Amino acid sequence: MKNVALIGGLIGLLTAPAWAAESHCREQERIVFSCSLGKKTVSVCASADLSATGGYLQYRFGQKGGLELAFPDLTQATPAASHVQARTLMFAGGGGGYLRFVNGTHHYIVYTAIGKGWGAKDGVAVEKNGQLVTNLECRDVPVSELSEEFFNRTGLPVDQHEFQIPGLD
């Protein structure tokens, strides 16, 4: 009986998505973006029904099992477009995209990009009153759906701030 349980457990590990341990998203949610920042993880989770007319999109940050921030509050029925903006980025030999979560004077910007000469850049930047406060880069390859197709399908407004990825000056 122990052998059956052990084999079943090993099969469960093989079939579980590799990113499952590095996400704050629940099983019934869709992972739009997630990566490890070291001891902490940043995730953007969406309801299965996210579209231009419904569903939710939420930014989550903190240690596994101990969220420090989840924005927006999902108990309030507000459309994603009221607090999230999106934009694609163009670079020589690549491109990317980002989501900007607007929480008053604080903005949480989850980004992914690749470019010729500098490679891949992924992470989360935090701005307060338009000034960069911190930038945390992913320590692993992120799970990411950030793309023009995703932004269009979900009806997210285009960010007018034109975020510049830190370190690419």
Q: How far apart are the C-alpha atoms of 156 and 58, rounded to whole Å?
A: 13
pLDDT for the residue 140: 92
Residues of the chain with pLDDT under 70: 1-21, 76-77, 169
pLDDT for the residue 169: 65
